[in-house]
Chain A
Amino acid sequence: MRARATLAATAALALASLAACGSGDEAEAGSDGTVTVFAAASLTEAFTEIGDRFEAEHDGVTVEFNFAGSSDLAAQITEGAPADVFASADESNMDKVVEAGAAADPDTFALNQLVIAVPEGNPDGVTGLADLAGLDFAACAEEVPCGSAAQTALGDTGLTPVTYEADVKSTLQKLTLGEVDAALVYRTDAIAAEDEVDAVEFPESAGAVNAYPIAALTDAPSPDLAAEFAAYVLADDAQAVLQAAGFQHP
Chain B
Amino acid sequence: MPAKRTLRRRRVPAALLAPAAIGLAFLILPLAGLLARAPWAELPARLAEPEMLAALRLSLLTATAATALSLLFGVPIAWLLARGDFPGRSVLRALVTVPLVLPPVVGGVALLLVFGRNGIIGSWLHERFDITIPFTTTAVVLAMTFMSMPFLVVSVEGALRGADLRFEEAAATLGAGRWTVFTHVTLPMVAPGVLAGAVLCWARALGEFGATITFAGNFPGRTQTMPLAVYLALQSDLEAAIVLSLILLAVSVIVLASLRDRWTAAP
Interface on A for B, CB 8 Å cutoff?
69, 71, 75, 92, 136, 138, 141, 143-144, 162-166, 170, 174, 177-179
Contacts and interface: CB of A to CB of B under 8 A. Distances in A.
B116 interface: yes
B257 interface: no
Interface string B210-254: 000110011110011000100111111010000000000000000
Contacts of A163: 135, 217-219, 223
A138 B117 CA distance: 14
A2 B115 CA distance: 35
Q: Specify the main secondary structure of chain B where it touches its partner.
A: helix
16 contacts: A71-B234, A71-B235, A138-B217, A141-B218, A143-B232, A144-B236, A162-B219, A163-B223, A164-B220, A164-B224, A166-B218, A170-B214, A177-B113, A177-B118, A179-B118, A179-B135
Interface of B: 109, 112-113, 116-118, 134-135, 213-214, 217-220, 223-224, 228, 231-236, 238
A177 B213 contact: no
A69 B231 CA distance: 12
A144 B235 contact: yes
B239 to A, nearest CB: 12
A118 to B, nearest CB: 15
B236 A71 contact: yes
A120 to B, nearest CB: 14
Q: Could you say which of A75, A165, A170, A179 has the most chain B C-beta atoms within 10 Å of its C-beta?
A: A179
Contacts of A144: 232, 235-236
A73 to B, nearest CB: 12
Given A163-B223, A179-B112, A179-B134, A174 B217 contact: yes
A151 to B, nearest CB: 13
A71 B214 CA distance: 20
B133 to A, nearest CB: 10
A141 B117 CA distance: 22
B116 A162 contact: no
Nearest to A161: B219
B134 A164 contact: no
Contact of B217 (A69, A75, A92, A165): A165
A69 B213 CA distance: 17
A141 B238 CA distance: 16
Nearest to A165: B218
A48 B234 CA distance: 27
A92 B217 CA distance: 25
A71 B135 CA distance: 26
A174 B216 CA distance: 10
A92 B236 CA distance: 9
Given A141-B218, A162-B135, A170-B214, 18 more contacts: A71-B235, A136-B135, A138-B217, A144-B236, A164-B224, A165-B213, A165-B217, A166-B213, A166-B232, A170-B213, A177-B112, A177-B113, A177-B118, A178-B116, A179-B112, A179-B117, A179-B118, A179-B135
A170 B213 CA distance: 9
A162 B213 CA distance: 12
A164 B113 CA distance: 20
Contacts of A138: 217
Nearest to B109: A177
B118 A143 contact: no
Contacts of A162: 135, 217, 219
**Which of B113, B219, B228 has the largest number of chain A CB atoms within 10 A?**
B219
A138 B213 CA distance: 13
Q: Which 7 A-B pairs have the closest CB atoms?
A: A163-B217, A178-B118, A143-B235, A143-B236, A143-B232, A162-B135, A71-B235
